[in-house]
Structure 1
Amino acid sequence: MTAPWQARMIAAESAPNAPLLRTRFTVEAGHGPVRRAVLHVTGLGLVEAFLDGAPVSDDVLAPGWSSYEWRLRYRSHDVTQLLAAPGAESVLGLALGNGWAAGRLTWSGERAYYADAPAGFAQLEVEFGDGHVQVVATDGSWRSHASAVLADDLYDGQTTDLRLLDPAWATTAGSEEGWGGVREVDLDTARLVPRLAPPVRRQEVLGVQQVLTSPSGRTILDFGQNLVGRLRLRVRGEAGAEVVVRHAEVLEDGELGVRPLRTARATDRWILSGGDDVLEPTLTFHGFRYAEVTGWPGELAAEDVEAVVVHSQLRRTGTFECSDELLNQLHSNVVWGLRGNFVDVPTDCPQRDERLGWTGDLAVFAPTAAYLYDVSDLLRDWLADLAAEQAAAAGKVPFVVPDVLKYVPHPPEFGEPETAAVWSDAAVWVPWALWQAHGDPAVLRQAYPSMSAHVDRVEGLLSDTGLWDTGFQFGDWLDPTAPPDAPFKAKADNGVVATACAYRSAHTLAEAAAVLGEDADAARWGALAERIGTAFREAYVDADGRVHSDCPTVYALAIEFGLLDGDVQRAGDRLAQLVAEGGHRIATGFAGTPYVTDALTRTGHLDTAYRLLLQTQCPSWLYPVTMGATTIWERWDSMLPDGSINPGEMTSFNHYALGAVADWMHRTVAGIAALEPGYARALVAPQPGGGITWAKGALDTPHGHLAVSWQLDQDGELTVEVEVPAGTSALLRLPGRPDEELGAGTHTASTRTPAPA
């Protein structure tokens, strides 16, 4: 920014829904040509900025959702090419929507947690050839007008009367009739911070795969993919006629399955102008595969409608493919789940009356996310919100970030809100995952105060025994044996899960401190981890190596978090036995699922891990695939085998947490892992199994392109090709041959694999 803030936050004086704000100004003359023009823009709610009628960017749903109480992010746009010549009149306009600030949030039915109405903030800085800077900024002189949008909400959808649309409103040709005043809204400009996260944008369009007629006679469009975004429709009909579009992820008995949406209406309404209308709501988004259209004039043709996919602008970095098509679909489901839930905030689900930044989901999914896409800037921005919320809550990491739940009555079964294992551990686990993926210590330095404050708070919650065995815990959330209405009633003991997580966070923090040269802290946190680990073994591991509550999750955590000393093999054997006794079906929830295949692999039970991964009976990773899923479900049985929706109130068909198994697929099936942070040194160690005859993976690391592909012939001959980026090395580890250090370049190696057990 070349000038101090002169702008004021403003809202429409008469508070129409989705108001338009604008100002007319003259580009100053006498200072030479315009050298550069930059528009800084943000708001409470959604803001679309226009200069002389042209949108200033491709961003949608801007400025997104941050912890508005402490961090309001602005974007800076170069608008030099849009600006009129010196001496000419121009119009700067802002179209506002309720968004996260003034719209509905959470299941409470309440709205406007952050602002009573949408408001905008903009500062245009025009630098001329002689160095003079002209500033045009939002203030009390701006004017406001109602838009064609009659209602807008992220949960409920958008209603637009196209007869009221004025395409010239943000141009010098726009009418002055009906424009009123604005009011200034209090804003401490110290809250303004440059946006670090990438913007949300339209990514692609999908066509209609099928036009269906439901048993009740309704027209339903199937796009073949559960996605997040909105529809774009082209229609010509009688002026005043209404077209209504309802969205849902699944069908039930041939009709739109809207019960999982709970109170979210997910409905867009369009009142036609009488001319050729293009219908695309820009102040909402939906999670859907199916759309029901009513009021369409004439016969609806598939080419009249397309689905616009919307999510944060992320660069794809990692890929995976193998000979098993069900696994390929599972991996695709993981990718689409990430895309749909990384809409500025990494959310739990994108469709119902929730869509919150649940920390537990991201804590377990971050390694997978960091392989698939470059999520570093998005998550660093989110971690800044986490730090702000945490600092305001005396070190407590909330269940969701931004923490709108602090304004919502807490469910009584959850007890008093407090730090919770896995969920609050996101303060440590997420930056560590980014460090491992990118090798940039800046993320650890930024997050270190949050990491330390979290572990400090956990230490204060430990019992005198050194265990974390009191207070509310989500535990192994959504263990498939838990009742549909009580997903926290898992087989795994909450104290075992929480204490294991406390150990992992303390140990990880000690490692982070060492990376940052904080040697005294490293010793302190290391001693805490040792104390917790000793307490865990004394309280929860018996003389026979059994872990208390004796279920797959507790063994997976104990093995993978390094809690067992000499009992690792016995624990792995017991885990494999439990998995076999369970028919190689899933018996873990949010806490255990990301680690169960790794724990089996680490202890020599690779075949059991593959049998668990490739199981198609419910509950399993592939059961949803056999049921036609195109994203990861929240519950293992979000849809029952008979095609009915799980009766639980909490049922989503787009949740990425249980897709964390993709991290194991990348490292074990494809064979790509980091031996040093940022893949400065990689481990290439594919471990074939499960009847898979070939696999390949590739990752754009910070150093370049790393790729692995392998084939297994009928005689058990394994041939591996490896591409190692310049300036790095890779350790090749294959069964039946010694480890080999590979330099930059392309390599081929072969070995004979042992016969399956």
Structure 2
Amino acid sequence: MTTVPHITTDAPHGSDVVASPAPEIGWRTATDAADWLQASAEVELTRAGEIWTHRVEGRASTRIAWPFPPLAPREEVSLRVRVTGQDGATGEWSAPRRVVAGFLGDGEWRAAAIGLPSPVGTAQPAYLRSEFDVTGAVARATLYATAVGVYQAALGGVDVDDQVMKPGWTPYPRRLIHETTDVTALLAPGRNAIGVRLAGAWATESYGFRDNARPLYAAQPRFAAQLLIEYDDGTSEWVLTDASWQASTGPITASGLYAGEDHDARLALVDADGRGFSEAGYDASDWMPAAEQEPVHTPEARVSPFVRRLDELTVREVIETPSGHTVLDFGQNLVGRLRVRVAGPAGTVLTLRHAEVLEHGELGTRPLRAAAATDRYTLSGDGVEEWEPEFTFHGFRYAQIDGWPGELDPAAVTAVVIHSDMERTGWFEASDPVVNQLHENIVWGLRGNFLYLPTDCPQRDERLGWTGDIQVFAPTASFLYDVRGFLDSWLRDLALEQVDGVVPFVVPNVLGAARPAAAWGDAATIVPWVLHERYADVSTVARQYDSMKAWADALIDLAGPRRLWEGMFQFGDWLDPDAPPEQAAKAKTDADIVASAYLFRSVEAVARAAALLGRDAAAEEYAVIAEEVRQAFLAEYVTPAGRMMSDAQTAYALAIMFDVAPESQHDALGARLAELTRLSGYRIGTGFVGTPIIQDALTRTGHLETARRLLVQTENPSWLYPVTMGATTIWERWDSMLPDGTINPGEMTSFNHYALGAIGDWLHRVVAGLAPDAPGYARLRIEPRPLAGFDSASAEHLTPYGPARSGWSRAGEALRVTATVPPNTTAVVVLPDGRSFEVGSGSHEWETVDAAPPASTSAIGLDSTLAAVIDDLEAYQAIATVLEAADPDAAHAFRTTTRWSDGRELGEALFMFAGPDVQQAIAERLADLSSGRESDATVAADA
């Protein structure tokens, strides 16, 4: 039995540095004992040579409130755990876990913000330096640093850490983050120097669309830091940023998130003796005094993960474009930048342009809009030079290289992937390689858009924290990665940016006044609840409760006594596939239905949060209001027979999955939802709101086969259509690229947008069957739903208690279900044959008869109904093949405009798309298909 303690909040992934005096703690226990449950645990803290102990009775092993006196700033302690099982066996003490208090004490922040005294241009990158003496043996040195902008610091010529683009983006006037870095090893007795590279990034970028784009936060970046040196003799001193520092421009001559970065290596800050500007003794005689600038908001310690270089990709293919340019394909749409190794004459300018796709063989830059996404490197001429932009990033798969001196060796160019360094916690695999690629695209979409905050896209002149995107994607994200700290930090910003309860479209809010929008502002109530559901995170719900309540109260006021949110601006079911390219909100489902459904969901979420926190009066109050909203919704939008006033898939999915409609109506609602899905030819008909829930709505109402057909559809629009077009991330639009290789004509077109990847949660919970049945996976639900045509599927998730797994596979007529339940948890198991029971921890396996529907044996012909044709994929594909060969345009129209109903025959429908000869060819092809099935059935019967 082994136990591993961990900090369940406050410490970024891979760090021992915590942000508060009382971090929550937890531990995972690994044991081979079956059905193991914890009876008690002993937690031991060593601080300043003194040992403190705390005993936990019962099963609690995650998100334990700090049981010791609060940590003091910079205090370093050691934590270890020993557990006893209900079987009476006590394990060994865990290895100690180091915990360091990374926060500042009250009043300790005294650093001035500094920068260039007279910038020569807008958002001018800057270099800052200072020298100081170390007067004795150093016990510890801690650097606290922040910026309105982005920075990296170095001591003695060595960067203090491997982080990128720090401190990230927050609402700078309201909240700023400081890094806490142990730099003891970088100091030496005597004279020392600190140097800082600084650029504007988010702080100086222009935000807004078209001609409305304006800088919001600052014209120039500014930096503030304080270095605490603690000596062995007990004395200490601070080195603070102030007007005594020096400032200069340097080799980074221009830098912007959207524009890219320019670097002139001829301007390297190295003196005649070869010393760099962050080394003591550097000749800074031509530097200027740094200017003290507007003070920064007192920063707080980081709770979100660091951003780091986390992957590298080599060139997959070198492409010569029709216009003669050299383009490198890295085989994966990613977020980061290029690192080059190049030699050539001084003054040679290397230009790197980035894009996600090619269009007709050339770099497809139109979706970037005003973002140049171009980096330039001017060579120094000093042998082989290596360079990577430092203060920008791009979303790209392809890079055009212009100006390379001599012949380009593709091995000299590497794509460096950057994103927030979250722990990977979830995996999924199925027997269908196209579905596996879909899931991989979901993962890469998350990686590209989780860079300090959850963004909508990483490539064009936007990259904003759109609230609607993360609201629908949070469940999927929380399975794939440990996003608790990441989303916890962003939710703090959301609460700060609320105005009279109204949540802005984006957080941080750079688009002006906050305006209520359903499914977007509801991130305030839904994301905290997801964190509770997946991590048993009560503390975030408690902290965000006022924000949740304020949003709900704002909506209740808007709804008024009718208890319906109607007649106001809405995004609605954004990017419904039937919406025109320039009217993304023009969906089949009425926006008022979306708004009132979310009104119910948010009010109900506040009622649940109040109950969780023991606020019983508030819980009752909001539960009553939620019921009033529900009754108003049913009276206004749902007929007694179970039809929605907007007869569209999203409307039915909302009524079912938000539990607005009573269970008694679910059968009727689900039947119509399934019918609408079939009528569309099993093509997707939902946008941002309906897509995350349509598969669950179909499954919940007994239409798993319909959900399967929707999943495996490869024609546009569908989840798999982009995969067939070579996508390696999730697209913003179902048809961001058209079948002919042309980019969608809409101005808003991205090839890395995770929202429509919210289906990942259904793949994990339903197809593989792995879900929480109690907050934080204290109890699991193992309920796989095997799909026809698949041989297997499985999911694995690193829960707060340890690895959990659920999967199934077919073997002849048997179906084998396997599961791994972590120690100190139990699982409710529901097998495909309906058997249900509860099991304890350990590895489990069950076998049942495979209930997969048999392959179709029915005859099909021109007199078959259109419903029968579309439900028979083999027959449908045979018809499409004949039509495609005869008339591709007619084949496309037949596939995309036909309503696949029970009320029309195939022959009647073909009359509009095919002449007599083609109809005859189709009839013959279907006759051959039917004959073959009859023969197969006869053989099977004889066998």
TM-score range, shorter chain: over 0.9
Shift in Å at residue 754 of structure 1?
Answer: 2.1
**Aligned to 1:447, which of 524, 544, 550?**
544
Q: Which residue matches 2:504?
A: 398
Query: Are 2:211 and 1:104 aligned?
Result: no
Residue of structure 1 in register with 2:162 after alignment: 58
Mapped partners of 1:474, 1:79: distance in 2: 48
Partner of 1:710: 808
Identity of aligned residues (%): 50
State the AA in 2 paired with 1:52: G
Partner of 2:479 in structure 1?
371
After superposition, residues 229-308 of structure 1 pair within 5 angstroms as 229-275=336-382, 276-308=384-416
> TM-score, normalised to structure 1's length?
0.96
Q: Does 2:254 align with 1:148?
A: no
Farther-moved stretch of structure 1 (558-567 vs 506-515): 506-515
Question: Which moved further from structure 2: 170-179 or 74-83?
Answer: 170-179
Q: Give the partner amino acid of 1:586.
A: I
Instruction: Give per-residue Cα distances to partners, 1:543-590, cap 9 Å, x unaligned.
Output: 221111110000001000001112111000000000000000000000
Shift of 1:601: 0.1
Structure 2 equivalent of residue 520 of structure 1: 617
Q: Structure 2: how far apart are the matches of 1:226 and 1:735?
A: 38
- Give 1:164's aligned residue: 267
Classify the secondary structure of the residue corresponding to 1:363. helix
Residue 108 of structure 1: how far off its partner (Å):
4.4
**In the aligned structure 2, how far is the partner of 1:325 from the partner of 1:178?**
61
- SS of the equivalent of 1:406 reads coil
- Between the aligned partners of 1:385 and 1:264, the Cα distance in structure 2 is 26
> Matches of 2:296 and 2:203 in 1, distance apart?
16
Q: Distance in 2 between matches of 1:45 and 1:278?
A: 25
The 5 Å alignment of 1:600-679 reads 600-679=698-777
Q: Distance in 1 between matches of 2:108 and 2:541?
A: 31
Normalising by structure 2, report the TM-score. Answer: 0.77
Deviations 1:504-544 (A, max 9, x none): 11112211111111111110111111000000000001122
Checking the alignment, whether the CA contact within 8 Å between 1:11 and 1:183 is kept in structure 2 is yes
Partner SS, residue 547 of structure 1: coil
* Partner residue, 1:740: 837
CA contact (8 A) 1:102 1:111 kept: no
Letter in 1 for 2:250: S
Pair 1:383-2:491 in alignment: yes
Amino acid at match of 2:777: Y
Query: Is 1:537 aligned with 2:634?
Result: yes
Q: For the Cα contact (< 8 Å) 2:786–2:832, is it kept in 1?
A: no
Separation in 1, partners of 2:394, 2:360? 22
The alpha-carbon deviation at position 69 of structure 1 amounts to 1.5
CA distance in 2, matches of 1:537, 1:6: 58
Provide runs of 4+ in structure 1 moved above 4 Å: none
1:93 corresponds to: 195
Provide the residue aligned with 2:696 in structure 1.
598
Instruction: Tell me whether 1:217 sits opposite 2:324 in the alignment.
Output: yes
State the number of aligned residues: 739
Quote the Cα distance in structure 1 between the aligned partners of 2:836 and 2:315.
51
2:423 alignment partner in structure 1? 315
Q: Secondary structure at the match of 2:215?
A: coil
Q: 2:460 aligns with which of 352, 374, 385?
A: 352
Q: Work out whether residues 463 and 469 of structure 1, in 8 Å CA contact, stay in contact via their aligned partners in 2.
A: no
Q: Is the 8 A contact 2:596 2:633 kept in 1?
A: yes
Map 1:11-160; keep pairs closer than 5 Å. Answer: 11-16=115-120, 17-29=124-136, 33-85=137-189, 88-108=190-210, 110-160=213-263
> Residue type matched to 2:193 in 1?
V
Shift of 1:737: 4.2
- The amino acid across from 1:709 in the alignment is G
Greater CA drift, 736-745 or 74-83: 736-745
Q: Deviations over 1:647-700 (max 9, x none)?
A: 000000000000000000000111101110100000001101141111111100
Structure 2 residue 557 is the aligned partner of structure 1 residue 460: yes
Q: Which amino acid aligns with 1:68?
A: Y
Does 2:611 match 1:508?
no
Which deviates further from its counterpart, 156-165 or 11-20? 11-20
* Alpha-carbon distance change, 111 to 95 in structure 1, aligned in 2, over 3 angstroms: farther
Residue number among 841, 846, 849 corresponding to 1:752 in the alignment: 849
Q: Which amino acid in structure 2 is aligned with residue 476 of structure 1? A: D
- In 2, are the aligned partners of 1:156 and 1:264 still within 8 Å (CA)? yes
Q: Structure 2: which amino acid aligns with 1:649?
A: E
How far is the alpha carbon of 1:463 from its aligned partner? 4.0
Deviations 1:435-466 (A, max 9, x none): 11101211111111111111011100104321
Partner amino acid, structure 1, of 2:347? G
Distance 1:703 1:468 in 2: 41
Secondary structure of 1:430's counterpart equals helix
Decide which of 426, 443, 448 is 1:340's aligned counterpart.
Answer: 448
**Structure 2 residue corresponding to 1:197, chosen from 290, 304, 309:** 304
Between the aligned partners of 1:469 and 1:106, the Cα distance in structure 2 is: 27
What is the CA–CA distance in structure 2 between the aligned matches of 1:621 and 1:505, rounded to whole Å?
28
**Conservation of the 8 A alpha-carbon contact between 1:586 and 1:612:** yes
Cα distance in 1 for residues equivalent to 2:461 and 2:296: 30
Does structure 2 conserve the Cα–Cα contact (< 8 Å) formed by 1:107 and 1:263?
no
One-letter amino acid matched to 2:715:
Q
Bigger drift between 57-66 and 732-741 goes to 732-741
Residue number in structure 1 paired with 2:799:
701
Contact 1:695 1:711 in 2 (8 A): yes
Would the aligned equivalents of 1:737 and 1:751 in 2 still touch at CA under 8 Å?
no
Q: Deviations over 1:724-743 (max 9, x none)?
A: 10100011111224202110
Number of the residue aligned with 1:426:
523
Asked if 2 retains the 8 angstrom alpha-carbon contact of 1:11 and 1:185, the reply is: yes
Higher relative contact order (CA 8 A, sep 6+): 1
In 2, the alpha carbon distance for the partners of 1:225 and 1:241 equals 29
Where does structure 2 lack aligned partners over 5 or more consecutive residues?
1-103, 271-275, 855-943
Which residue identity lines up with residue 283 of structure 1 in the other structure?
A: F
Output the amino acid matched with 1:605: H
| 1:173 CA drift (Å) | 3.9
The amino acid that maps onto 2:205 is: G
Secondary structure of the corresponding residue to residue 812 of structure 2: coil
Q: Which entry has the higher C-alpha Rg, 1 or 2?
A: 2
Q: Find the aligned partners of 2:152 and 2:849 in 1 and give their Cα distance.
A: 60
Deviations 1:7-66 (A, max 9, x none): 10111112252110111111123xxx2111000010111111111111111111111100
CA contact (8 A) 1:427 1:451 kept: yes
Q: Which amino acid aligns with 2:793?
A: A
Distance 2:850 2:532 in 1: 34
Task: Give the aligned residue type for 2:570.
Answer: Q
Displacement of 1:188 in angstroms is: 5.3
1:4 to 105, 108, 118: 108
Q: 730-739 or 261-270, which moves further after superposition? A: 730-739
